[in-house]
Amino acid sequence: MSHRLNNMNCRRRSAIGALVIASVILGLSALGTSALAARRLVSDAEARHLGLQRAWTTQVRLDPARNRVERAVLEGDRLTVMTSAGVVQEFNALTGETMWIAPIGNPDHPSLGPSSSAKFVAVINGSTLYVLDKMDGKPIVVRPVGGAPGAAPAVGEHYVFVPLAMGRIEAYPLGEQKLTPWYYQSFGRAMVAPLATPESFVWSTDSGHLYVGRSADLGVRFRLETGSEIVASPAYGAPYVYAATSDGEVFSMHEMTGQRRWKYATGFPVTRAPAVVGDRVFVTSEEPMLHCIDATKGTAIWETPHIAQFAAASAKRVYGVDDLGALVVLDAATGALLGRMPTDSSTNALVNDQTDRVYLVSEDGVVQCLHELGAKEPMYHRPKVEPQAPQAPTSEGQPVEPNATTRPQPPADVEAEAPADEEAAPAEESEMPAEESAAGESEDPFNGIDQ
């Protein structure tokens, strides 16, 4: 009996010890999570040292043990964040308030996106396209795409554009679903997220071709052959499109005519999209170097070494991330370093070419918004651009573009005029409804060139 009691006491002490150890581990884990969150939060003293203050901070809803923030995009006063589980969360970019949360598709499938417009948010999960209403996150389009997606989609006024790895761009209608989808076959693989503007949609391929098409009545305006692979998304500053190549060249061209305005050489590959802020274009090369370029002339205003990413700009300051992951402040006039603040290694700065706000997003979902001291209202860099009305032919003979219409008509081929020394070429590709693609395989848009 005594032996049995001793065994029971030993088991009881072991159980109590295990509970104590488990409690300690949980407590340390909670403390560790709190400590990590505290390290990722920029303190008031650190912010003021750079002339900033924190407007708000919030937490993306995710399981940090299994998922991470995949991508965040800013559109107007809305910040859209997507996790690796395919969950899309919409925030008010001015206050940090959560507007809605929408789980998308299968959490085990890879997701591409999000892309955002004033009305819609688009995501690809696996091989399925989801278009959500910007107001409440409810899906308005759920449909399979016609192949393996190569990159995130782009959302226009009337269509959502999906790049496929085989080089085809599929355009699916928004709103009236009875409209027939269209596709555009391009040369090379489409592995970079396209760009949608009020008048155009722009995409590139790994063969170094950049295409500009009409966004409403659907047709390809012109093609630019850069001679080098394009791995960064294009940028836009009305009415010019900006594209950068792996050879380090940056091109500026008119979105309607394809006429090249200038070409700028950084000397090193460019893998991040240019950022257009007012009359300046900010480009980071792999040197690393931040190049501030005059958007009109294509000449360097200044260059600052060791800057790996552009973050935001105000009237007198430029914010970026250096090659060690620290947030840096530069003088907007000269590019001189004004201040530097180390951040957590998992924290990235959102590229914001729309306002002067600095957004820091960590992989485990901590989002912070910083602004300059006293700047309660954001400075907006982009005036709203409305679709252009039809124009009469000019004395120079520029092509006339049709007005944007809600219901597109069958597209007509349009050739863009460009000087003889420009790389931009009229687009020769044909387009047809996606449902007719199988029957139309014999109609080769590249006249026999292997796709």
Cα distance between residue 285 and residue 305, in whole Å: 10
Instruction: Identify the pLDDT of residue 425.
Output: 55
Cα distance between residue 400 and residue 177, in whole Å: 29
Alpha carbons within 13 angstroms on the beta-carbon side of residue 254 total 13
- DSSP-derived secondary structure for 172-239: EESS-TTSPPEEEE-SS---S--EE-SSEEEEE-TTSEEEEEETTTTEEEEEEE-SS---S--EEETT
Cα distance between residue 184 and residue 415, in whole Å: 16
Hey, what amino acid is at 194? Answer: P
Q: For the chain, list the domains and their CATH numbers.
A: 44-385+414-436 (2.130.10.10)
Question: How confident is the prediction along the chain (451 residues), in pLDDT tens digits per residue?
Answer: 545 545 545 555 554 454 444 443 334 334 344 444 445 688 899 999 999 999 999 999 999 999 999 999 999 999 999 999 999 999 999 999 999 999 999 999 999 999 999 999 999 999 999 999 999 999 999 999 999 999 999 999 889 999 999 999 999 999 766 667 888 899 999 999 999 999 999 999 999 999 999 988 878 999 999 999 999 999 999 999 999 999 999 999 999 999 999 999 999 999 999 999 999 999 999 999 999 999 999 999 999 999 999 999 999 999 999 999 999 999 999 999 999 999 887 889 999 999 999 999 999 999 999 999 999 999 999 865 554 444 443 333 333 333 332 233 333 333 333 333 344 555 544 444 434 333 333 333 333 333 3
**Residue 189 CB-density burial (10 A; 0-12 exposed, 13-18 middle, 19+ buried):** buried
Instruction: Identify the pLDDT of residue 167.
Output: 94
Hey, what amino acid is at 303? Answer: E
Is 198 within 8 Å of 387 (Cβ atoms)?
yes
Structure tokens, 420 = 């003889």
Instruction: Identify the pLDDT of residue 241.
Output: 97
The number of residues making up the chain comes to: 451
Is 425 within 8 Å of 225 (Cβ atoms)?
yes
Cα distance between residue 207 and residue 446, in whole Å: 14
Residue 378 CA from chain centroid, whole number: 21
Instruction: Identify the pLDDT of residue 181.
Output: 83
For the question of whether the overall pTM of this predicted structure is more than 0.85, the answer is no
Report helix, strand or coil for 436.
helix
Is 100 within 8 Å of 129 (Cβ atoms)?
no
